[in-house]
């Protein structure tokens, strides 16, 4: 679990201060209140996300930025008395209570009021009173108030509330002519008893239900969660026909026509093939068919995947019909093993081996890992290499890498230690190690260029992993960015090593290969990815191909390091791209999204929708919050491959004909 204090600090900086909120009282209060205490335990990991979250009774806890904006605009000051309408989780009340003298909070749903009251007591907020009731009438016995905040949107500002404002008092409230779309207004009661109104922009809150609000004609549990401000019209009208018109049906995976459909991308330097989960067979089989075609017919000789360098290196020896290392270094032993040890990957690497067998090494296709989770194995690989070429240098490597050894089992702990120590304890050692290896490139490469390249990549990986584990401790964008930058640089080294006409196919999750600038990753979280970096580097010479599905089964775990299960994938949510494609009624297809293709469809799809991302973890019960984010699909990808129904991969076991799985792929 990431340190909530750090996450909170970062939330205040990135989501609030960087967006222009300067009020020191608001910033200090947002730094104090533990937001994770105001959401259900299953949603704690999202407590510092830049979004509203669901709470009990179908209501929401507002987005941190919106809470801060309202409090800052209302200018709440020490000594003041404040009324909140719509206490919900109690979070906003707690933030105000950290500034003001007294906070009065009204909540319509008894269960929410009770839970909020319990939280205040447990966390020691003794200056908040909560009561159940209709907040549109205010709290006349406690009036007047210096500030009133409404956390739900009504058709107009209730007169009763204006009357309960003290002279000089401020009221912030979402107002709108429909139940679910509003603009935020700030009303100030001047000293000479006039009301001055200021507009603060479009927002989306849950409806304010009561005598001077909306009528209670829907059960509260039906309320839509409040969403960030952004257009999300109903684009489904007519769009199904546009999707059908653009959809090119996909043949069987074993039909050579499948791969041929992707010939249009064969001029690219890099073809990036995504996946919408790490455990769906159709995505693997499609990537297999496309990659075969690119390798066999179009001269692609690099297959670079979202796996660690040393694991992939052992597969590389297999596909090149080279002997396994002695002692064997088993590949993909760690969670999530099924991502690579599955029957689809097994079939693919067997095909690579057959393809390579008659070819000289420089015309063979190689299998490489772009990821950086193999700190230990990579350290070991560098030392073993140096033992064989330069034992003296190996001794120095042992000493330098020794800095990280105490944390070899739990590298994340290294990040914590470095943070506590206040400096990057092992950075110098791992950087020097890479430098001294590179300075001997000529000398070492003369002996064996391939082995040097492998050692070099491992030394780079160790250098980047050291930084990654330090950044990870802060959570959010930095560690992700270090990881994807490492992936991109590794790809570049591979392309460089392959010469001017080298070309690569990349297999990685949609979240890595779909241009991050057109998803929440880039737009809200300052995250970049390998797809974006490839586009920036190669322009039209990078083809970003995304994958999607509506429902079926998937191989995934409930939590990290827990066993794989075959889980049912929920039908996609309304408001998502998946729902649009499902609605079009196409079973499996390719949609070309490059500019010039299907302009009307692309324009319609550019209106941001939700998109589902399932990784190695799948949590169907909190699916909206765990797996969906906003995206602009036609900008994120150059093409989209759709399978309406999909099935889980089959993990390799003894029965799959390879003898002891530990030594896969080499067998015993």
Under the criterion CB under 6 A, does residue 356 sit at the interface with ligand SAH? Answer: no
* C-alpha torsion 349→350→354→356, nearest 10: 20
Q: Is 445 a catalytic residue?
A: no
**Interface of this chain with ligand SAH, residues 75 to 94, rule: CB under 6 A:** 85-86, 88-89, 91-92
Structure tokens at 358: 């008659």
For 157, other C-beta atoms within 10 Å of its C-beta total: 19
Under the criterion CB under 6 A, does residue 98 sit at the interface with ligand SAH? Answer: no
Q: Which residue has the tokens 């009221």?
A: 171
Under the criterion CB under 6 A, does residue 268 sit at the interface with ligand SAH? Answer: no
Helices of type H across 473-561:
477-497, 510-513, 520-523, 530-538
What does the DSSP assignment read for 303-326? EEEEEEHHHHHHHHHHHTTPPPPS
- Of 54, 64, 135, 522, which lies in the binding site for ligand SAH, with binding defined by CB under 6 A? 135
Under the criterion CB under 6 A, does residue 164 sit at the interface with ligand SAH? Answer: no
530-538 vs 477-497: helix crossing angle, rounded to 10: 50
- Of 69, 72, 106, 555, which lies in the binding site for ligand SAH, with binding defined by CB under 6 A? 106
Q: Are strands 53-54 and 302-308 parallel, antiparallel or unpaired?
A: unpaired
Among 51, 62, 511, 572, the active-site one is 62
Under the criterion CB under 6 A, does residue 71 sit at the interface with ligand SAH? Answer: no
Q: How far is the CB of 42 from ligand SAH (least distance, A)?
A: 17
Under the criterion CB under 6 A, does residue 280 sit at the interface with ligand SAH? Answer: no
Helices of type H across 510-613:
510-513, 520-523, 530-538, 577-584, 599-606
**Interface of this chain with ligand SAH, residues 144 to 163, rule: CB under 6 A:** 151-152
Nearest Cα neighbor of 649 from 280, 341, 253 is 280
Residues 6 or more apart whose Cβ sits within 8 Å of residue 599: none
- Of 209, 270, 302, 319, which lies in the binding site for ligand SAH, with binding defined by CB under 6 A? 209
Q: Are strands 542-556 and 145-150 parallel, antiparallel or unpaired?
A: unpaired
**Interface of this chain with ligand SAH, residues 459 to 498, rule: CB under 6 A:** none
Nearer of residues 141 and 561 to ligand SAH, judged by Cβ: 141
Under the criterion CB under 6 A, does residue 56 sit at the interface with ligand SAH? Answer: no
Under the criterion CB under 6 A, does residue 651 sit at the interface with ligand SAH? Answer: no
Q: How many residues does the chain have?
A: 668
- Of 117, 138, 176, 210, which lies in the binding site for ligand SAH, with binding defined by CB under 6 A? 210
Nearer of residues 107 and 578 to ligand SAH, judged by Cβ: 107
Q: How far is the CB of 133 from ligand SAH (least distance, A)?
A: 7
- Of 206, 467, 521, 605, which lies in the binding site for ligand SAH, with binding defined by CB under 6 A? 206
Contact 235, 604 (CB under 8 A): yes
Nearer of residues 210 and 531 to ligand SAH, judged by Cβ: 210
Residues 6 or more apart whose Cβ sits within 8 Å of residue 596: none
Under the criterion CB under 6 A, does residue 454 sit at the interface with ligand SAH? Answer: no
Residues 6 or more apart whose Cβ sits within 8 Å of residue 334: 373
Structure tokens at 503: 């070309």
- Of 108, 170, 320, 463, which lies in the binding site for ligand SAH, with binding defined by CB under 6 A? 108
- Number of residues engaging ligand SAH in binding (CB under 6 A): 25
Question: Which residues form the catalytic set?
Answer: 62
Residues that bind ligand SAH (CB under 6 A): 59-62, 85-86, 88-89, 91-92, 106-109, 112, 134-136, 151-152, 206, 208-210, 213
């Amino acid at each position: 679990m990431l340190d909530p204090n750090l996450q909170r600090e970062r939330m205040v900086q990135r989501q609030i201060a960087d967006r222009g909120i300067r009020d020191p009282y608001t910033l200090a209060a947002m730094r104090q209140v533990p937001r994770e205490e105001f959401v259900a335990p299953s949603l704690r990991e999202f407590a510092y996300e830049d979004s509203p979250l669901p709470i009990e009774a179908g209501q929401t806890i507002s987005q941190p930025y919106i809470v801060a904006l309202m409090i800052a605009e209302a200018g709440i000051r020490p000594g003041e008395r404040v009324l909140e309408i719509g206490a919900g989780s109690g979070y906003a009340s707690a933030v105000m209570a950290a500034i003001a003298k007294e906070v009065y909070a009204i909540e319509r749903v008894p269960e929410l009021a009770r839970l909020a009251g319990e939280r205040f007591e447990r966390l020691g907020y003794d200056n908040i009173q909560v009561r159940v009731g209709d907040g549109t009438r205010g709290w006349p016995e406690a009036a007047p108030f210096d500030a009133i905040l409404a956390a739900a949107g009504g058709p107009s500002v209730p007169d009763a509330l204006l009357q309960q404002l003290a002279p000089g008092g401020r009221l912030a409230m979402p107002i709108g002519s429909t139940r679910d779309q509003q603009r935020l207004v700030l009303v100030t009661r001047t000293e000479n008893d006039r009301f001055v109104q200021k507009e603060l922009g479009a927002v989306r809150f849950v409806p304010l239900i009561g005598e001077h609000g909306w009528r209670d004609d829907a059960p509260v549990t039906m309320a839509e969660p409040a969403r960030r401000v952004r257009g999300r019209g109903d684009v489904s009208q007519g769009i199904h026909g546009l999707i059908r018109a653009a959809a090119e049906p996909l043949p069987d995976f074993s039909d050579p026509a499948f791969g041929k459909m992707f010939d249009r991308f064969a001029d690219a330097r890099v073809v990036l093939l995504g996946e919408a989960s790490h455990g769906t067979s159709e995505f693997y089989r499609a990537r297999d068919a496309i990659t075969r075609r690119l390798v066999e017919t179009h001269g692609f000789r690099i297959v670079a995947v979202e796996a660690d360098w040393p694991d992939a290196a052992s597969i590389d020896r297999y596909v090149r019909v080279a002997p396994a290392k002695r002692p064997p270094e088993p590949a993909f032993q760690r969670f999530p093993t099924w991502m690579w040890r599955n029957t689809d990957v097994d079939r693919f690497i067997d095909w690579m081996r057959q393809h390579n067998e008659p070819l000289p090494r420089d015309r063979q296709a190689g299998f490489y890992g772009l990821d950086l989770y193999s700190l230990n194995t990579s350290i070991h690989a560098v030392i073993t290499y140096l033992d064989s070429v330069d034992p003296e240098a190996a001794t120095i490597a042992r000493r330098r890498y020794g800095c990280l050894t105490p944390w070899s089992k739990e590298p994340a702990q290294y990040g914590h230690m470095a943070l506590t120590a206040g400096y990057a304890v092992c950075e110098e050692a791992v950087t020097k190690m890479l430098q001294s290896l590179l300075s001997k490139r000529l000398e070492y490469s003369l002996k064996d260029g391939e082995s040097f390249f492998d050692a070099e990549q491992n030394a780079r990986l160790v250098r980047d992993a050291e930084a990654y584990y330090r950044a990870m401790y802060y959570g959010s964008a930095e560690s992700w960015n270090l990881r994807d930058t490492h992936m991109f640089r590794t790809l570049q080294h591979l392309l460089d090593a392959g010469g001017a006409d080298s070309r690569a196919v990349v297999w990685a999750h949609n979240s890595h290969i779909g241009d991050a600038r057109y998803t929440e990753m880039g737009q809200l979280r300052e995250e970049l990815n390998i797809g974006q970096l490839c586009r920036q580097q190669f322009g039209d010479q990078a083809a970003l191909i995304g994958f999607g599905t509506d429902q079926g089964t998937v191989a995934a775990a409930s939590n990290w390091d827990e066993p794989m299960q075959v889980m049912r994938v929920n039908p996609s949510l309304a408001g998502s791209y998946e729902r649009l494609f499902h609605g079009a009624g196409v079973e499996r297809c390719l949609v070309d999204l490059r500019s010039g293709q299907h302009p009307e469809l692309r324009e319609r799809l550019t209106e941001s929708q939700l998109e589902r991302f399932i990784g190695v973890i799948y949590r169907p019960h909190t699916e909206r919050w765990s797996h969906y984010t906003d995206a602009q699909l036609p900008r994120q990808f150059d093409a989209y491959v759709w399978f309406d129904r999909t099935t889980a991969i089959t993990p390799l076991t003894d029965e799959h004909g390879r003898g002891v799985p530990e030594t896969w792929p080499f067998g015993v």
